[in-house]
């Protein structure tokens, strides 16, 4: 997965946070090494795609405050399960990441997302300019 190429800034930080949570969840549920766990890898790929296509772009709110529901119901439930399990356990292995994630969730509930601000849309626009 080429996260360094596609995501940057706040979106990359958000992906790194969910990746750390999935690692904690996967290890605790004895899925073995996360790189060998197909279910966890599929979830991370899905989360990566959703972050890339988030209509808020770099101004993305935390998912629990977002009025746009971009996860499919079963994946949203999986994300909730992972975050409820791994969230409290993040403080020891990743204290700065955990605190930053908690603070980012303290903002106001956002309004309607601006047009054409998703990371994917901006990247495609940039690629079109360079051609």
Torsion sign across C-alpha atoms 56, 121, 51, 10: negative
- For residue 73, CA distances in Å to 43, 76, 79, 81, 107 come to 13, 5, 10, 12, 25
Q: Report residue 73 as tokens.
A: 């119901």
Whether pLDDT at 2 is above 60? no
pLDDT digits (tens, 9 = 90+) for 33-91: 777 889 999 999 999 999 999 999 888 888 878 888 889 999 999 999 999 999 999 99
Residue 37 DSSP one-character state = -
What is the value of pTM for the model shown?
0.86
More confident call, 115 vs 49: 49
pLDDT value at residue 45: 96
């Amino acid at each position: 997965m080429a996260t360094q190429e596609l995501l940057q800034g706040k979106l990359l930080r958000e992906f790194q946070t969910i990746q750390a949570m999935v690692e904690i969840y996967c290890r605790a549920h004895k899925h073995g090494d996360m790189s060998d766990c197909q279910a966890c890898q599929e979830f991370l790929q899905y989360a990566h795609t959703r972050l890339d296509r988030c209509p808020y772009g770099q101004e993305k709110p935390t998912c629990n405050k977002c009025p746009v529901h971009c996860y499919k119901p079963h994946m949203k439930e999986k994300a909730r399960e992972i975050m409820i399990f791994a969230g409290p356990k993040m403080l020891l292995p990743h204290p700065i990441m955990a605190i930053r994630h908690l603070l980012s969730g303290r903002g106001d509930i956002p309004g309607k997302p601006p047009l054409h601000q998703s990371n994917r849309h901006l990247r495609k626009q940039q690629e079109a300019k360079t051609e």
